[in-house]
DNA sequence: TCAAAAGTGTAGCCCTGGCTTTATTTGGCC
DNA sequence: GGCCAAATAAAGCCAGGGCTACACTTTTGA
């Protein structure tokens, strides 16, 4: 394989991975947040989800519909939303990863509020391998 | 402002920033890549753009249409695509940021190929403040 | 108790960013 | 010079993720 072909497939692979990560980003954020609300309030109401996500309630309803379709949440009409086992597992993984990303940013000298803001988008593109490296870095650093 | 209200607006702000960053991510990646192709080949053809992005050529055509609409590129029918001054400036900023993000990941112990893959998505969520911190970190580290 | 407020559902609109299919143009080559 | 392959354009489909407007249900409190 000539070098220029290699350059092209490598680039395409990168963009494909980024697109794949983006396509689950919304599910991850909703799962994490619904988990938070269940913890805090016992249930997650559409209105509360929408307010925290900064969207209108029909938008939150659509996202929850997708979560249900993917087996991550359940709900009955006019009742709260609840995560399934799979949803809870996802929420936990996402929450842990979020904290690691914020911690790494802060360790690198990023102000706390900025770290929180940037981590919200960056986290979804942090692969398992990178997450492991982040954790090693945080431990080594003490 | 009660603490719970604060929690909610903070979260909404985070998600809004992440959405805003995502909405320009595509422009950034195309600008960077068209800049690369102009450098390598003298012009950027739709077919080459599409192959490198890992999409079909109608998809690339649509993206280029958006770049033109935003004043970042120009092109005439059946001719190559070229960046405007604004497009070139964007491409340069994006390319520099991309390199910094990759360098930081590698400095944290992430393998080179993984760093390239993850950086492609993460870079778009790295704010100016965070980028500055990254650069200081890289310099301090030598 | 029951009316008003709050919450939820649903329909339908828009834009983005993928895709396939079909038409048109260009460019290389005999 | 003309033909054929490659490139480009154009049209139209789909899903995702935002929105508004409107209908319906549930909860609250006087
Ligand atoms: Mn997030
Ligand atoms: Mn998060
Ligand atoms: Mn990118
Ligand atoms: Mn990039």
Q: Concatenated DSSP letters for B81-105?
A: EEE-HHHHHHHHHHHHHHHHHHHHH
pTM, full prediction: 0.95
Convert the pLDDT of each residue in B30-86 to its tens digit.
999 999 999 999 999 999 999 999 999 999 999 999 999 999 999 999 999 999 999
Kindly identify which residue of chain A lies nearest to residue B50, measuring between CA atoms: A12
C-alpha closest to that of B93 among B63, B49, B67, B124: B124
pLDDT for A138: 98
Domains (ranges, CATH) in chain A? 3-83 (1.10.10.10), 88-141 (1.10.60.10)
Ligand 3 centroid, distance to A63 Cα (angstroms):
25
> Quick check: B33 and B49 in contact, CB under 8 A?
yes
Average pLDDT of every residue of chain A = 96
> Quick check: A120 and B140 in contact, CB under 8 A?
no
Q: Does pLDDT of A8 surpass 80? A: no
Report CA torsion sign: A78, A80, A85, A88. positive
Residue A77 CA and nucleotide C19 C1' are separated, in Å, by 35
C-alpha closest to that of B80 among B38, B28, B40: B38
C-alpha closest to that of B90 among B16, B36, B46: B36
CB contact under 8 A, B11 and A118: no
Distance between CA atoms of B48 and B82, rounded to whole angstroms?
A: 13
Q: pLDDT class for A1, splitting at 50, 70, 90?
A: low
Q: Is the CB of B47 under 7 A from strand D?
A: yes
Half-sphere exposure for A44 (CA within 13 Å, toward CB): 27
Tokens 């965070």 -> residue = B130
Please report residues of B whose CB lies closer than 8 A to that of A133. 105, 108-110
Q: Does pLDDT of A81 surpass 60? A: yes
With CA of A56 and C1' of each nucleotide, the nearest comes out as D19
């Amino acid at each position: 394989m000539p070098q220029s072909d290699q350059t092209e497939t490598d680039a395409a692979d990168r963009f494909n991975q980024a697109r794949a990560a983006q396509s689950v980003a919304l599910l991850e954020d909703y799962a994490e947040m619904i988990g938070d609300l269940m913890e805090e309030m016992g249930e997650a109401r559409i209105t509360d989800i929408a307010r925290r996500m900064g969207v209108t309630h029909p938008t939150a309803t659509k996202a929850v519909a997708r979560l249900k379709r993917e087996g991550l949440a359940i709900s009955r009409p006019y009742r709260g939303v609840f995560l399934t086992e799979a949803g809870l597992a996802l929420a936990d993984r996402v929450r842990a990863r979020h904290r690691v990303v914020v911690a790494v940013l802060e360790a690198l000298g990023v102000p706390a509020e900025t770290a929180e803001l940037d981590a919200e988008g960056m986290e979804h593109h942090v692969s398992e391998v990178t997450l492991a490296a982040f954790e090693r870095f945080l431990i080594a650093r003490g």
